[in-house]
Amino acid sequence: MTCDRLVCANCAGPVSEGRCNVCRAHRQRLHQENGPFSVLGSLSPAALTALLLALVAVALLARQAAV
């Protein structure tokens, strides 16, 4: 999740601008939660399945090439 479209309930401004203490605290919390694998949480189950199948296919091809 990004703070681009979030509106602060305290100051009614965009959270991404950080106008008040509440905005800044929420923006900082969101940035801390966004780790290297956070994008996987926003993918659909079908996209995750396709990614998994692609990784398995690459692993099988690498195994065939090694033999």
* Chain segment 1-60, per-residue pLDDT in tens: 566 778 888 998 888 888 899 988 888 887 776 666 666 666 788 988 999 999 999 999
Q: Identity (one letter) of the amino acid at 44? A: S
Q: Where exactly are the structural domains of the chain?
A: 1-34, 42-67
Half-sphere exposure of 21 (CA within 13 A, CB side): 0
| CA-based nearest residue to 27, from 16, 37, 14, 12 | 16
pLDDT at residue 63 in the model: 93
Rounded to whole angstroms, the Cα distance separating 9 from 19 reads 12
pLDDT at residue 43 in the model: 73
User: Which of 47-54's residues contact partners 24+ apart within 8 Å by CB, and which partners?
Assistant: none
The separation between the first and the last C-alpha atoms of the chain, rounded to the nearest angstrom, is 43
